[in-house]
Chains A and B, each alone.
Chain A
Amino acid sequence: MAEVVVKVENLKKYFPLRRSVVEFLRGSPPRSVKAVDDISFEIHRGEVFALAGESGCGKTTTGRLIVKLLEPTSGKIYFNGTDVTTLSREEEKEYRKKAQIIFQDPYGSLNPRFRVYNVLEEPLILQGIGETKSEREELIIRALESVRMVPPEEFLGRFPHQLSGGQRQRVAIARALILNPEFIVADEPVSMLDLSIRAEILNLMEDVKKRFGLTYLYITHDLSTARYFSDRIAIMYLGKIVELADSDTLVENPLHPYTKALIAAVPEPEPSMKDVIKEIPIKGEVPSAANVPPGCRFHPRCPYRFEPCDKEEPPFIEVEPGHWVACHLYSKR
């Protein structure tokens, strides 16, 4: 078994909802949005682990928890065996060098008033890397080269609005790489890019992964890129992981009814489906995470639901080696 880089254990993140005055006076208990509700998984060194799901399923929150942009409500996150939920200030700074994040929006993730040089200098200054200006410039140029922004000198003085979407995302990747991390959370890194450059960015991320021995957590709503880019995929639904398997198994042999529906719904660029009304086995839309259904949280939409589904939460079980699912259909009883 490969070495574990990130281990998440019973991770929970609840965002408290504001109570209205009436609720407060009535003494109703404070409610919360259960964005992430008791999830556990491991990411192995050198792999791309995908967290996929629809909007609001908690995948982005999970990513932010891991890089400590958010504090978990409860649960543990281990990085190379160390619990990172209880770090001192110094340790946290050290951790940030090793775990970085790339954001979805290449327009929003770069400060419009920062030149490329300043964007890439920021991590160096914050982490105290590079004694002199020329030393830092050397690092910056190398980072730009590693994301194929050549010649780097040409880009140093540019502002984000003088770059194309793909170039911006490459600068964002360079910013994450410049600290020499081991692990990167890539939060929908290509979903806002044009199709013709999406592959370019994904291929680039693949290449730097090999070169620098990185491990990725790839967060996406797009199963197609998840299959292309990642080794294992975890499907999230309403704050829970419902299925986890290696990419090919998950797509070709999905077990959970929700995964099945997701895969059925993904369009393929082939005209054969034209005019065919697709069979989508599940009804309705995702309920609000503030109002999670009891039992299996998918049961109101599930075509296969049976007696225990609305009462008991299904256990997360390993149906075959490396293929986990949380569904009563597969639990032994």
Chain B
Amino acid sequence: MPINKAEKPDKPESCDNVKVVVRCRPLNEREKATGYKMAVNVDEMRGTITVHKTDSSNEPPKTFTFDTVFGPESKQLDVYNLTARPIIDSVLEGYNGTIFAYGQTGTGKTFTMEGVRAVPELRGIIPNSFAHIFGHIAKAEGDTRFLVRVSYLEIYNEEVRDLLGKDQTQRLEVKERPDVGVYIKDLSAYVVNNADDMDRIMTLGHKNRSVGATNMNEHSSRSHAIFTITIECSEKGVDGNMHVRMGKLHLVDLAGSERQAKTGATGQRLKEATKINLSLSTLGNVISALVDGKSTHVPYRNSKLTRLLQDSLGGNSKTMMCANIGPADYNYDETISTLRYANRAKNIKNKARINEDPKDALLRQFQKEIEELKKKLEEGEEISGSETSDSEEEDEDDDGEIGEDGEKRKKRRGKAVVIPVSATNLLLSSSWCQKL
């Protein structure tokens, strides 16, 4: 088979990892007034972020490298174009895409994701995505039809809640089906016709997220929220039939960056990842970490999020994580911990590999056959297939089988309108799972 020239050669590093983007916000007025110093240095050209400790000069600065980094001067539209836009494009083509937002309160996560809606140039990733989607739909021609649906859910304490549902207390189940993949049973979905609709529904979900939470801050810091946009597009194919393709965009607001609040009076640093777990209730995690995942089974340890996003993290979807950090020196520990987390996300790889037996036996046998073949060729003897007489019947049968196979294959292709490429092959490593 000849090698065809690939039209869009993928950058090797963006193929199978999560694309990680870090944005650092500028010092705010209060910080300037208080006299805090910048502890973060962003090199957009090199894609590096350097953090130094301002109080103790003897500690060497720490440098992290990411796919893309944005400094305090960065513009909302640049952030959108360089990060989310390609993902939205692929969703419109019928792939799945996921954007994770990560960062502590006060690091500009909300500004990056939502921004100031009223001011066009200050809009964040979410409103820009909405506009992009409906802009694309408006431009579509001919028989192309779109159906856009949204849903919004929250995972808190390993329980899934429908943020758009009537009954907020209902606990929903994560399920899977061979034809549709992972889904949430009974999750409500709303059809939307324009960006404003989408906006309104998201705002409604936001409100529901805080209802019932005794402490909003504490609650949102420990819960993940997933806003999902499903875009179905039906258009006439070259064969004259209507084809439907479906892409999904998950916008994930990740918990986990919010640590225990700083203690005002004694003003202590935030805890780094504790090296020793005190409670025996975590024994299971310790044991799991010892097991090599290959040819073993490690019992599932609560992670609804991982399960829910398994198609985003497990094969054919484009995934981006946007981590936000604050620039001031008093944020040092938070910043380092966020950057470490983002750094880990960079290395997420898929573990689902082809189980291929090393066929030594087969190869040795083959080797023998080749030797025989060589000998025969040297001896000038001709070699041919076995000579049987009832060739006609056999040929017919052969053709019949091939025909059937061919047809089956066509059918399969017909069903799977979108044949996914291996755009991103990622999966959560165990440490990442725990963290999530």
**Bound together:** no
A residues neighboring B (CB under 8 Å): none
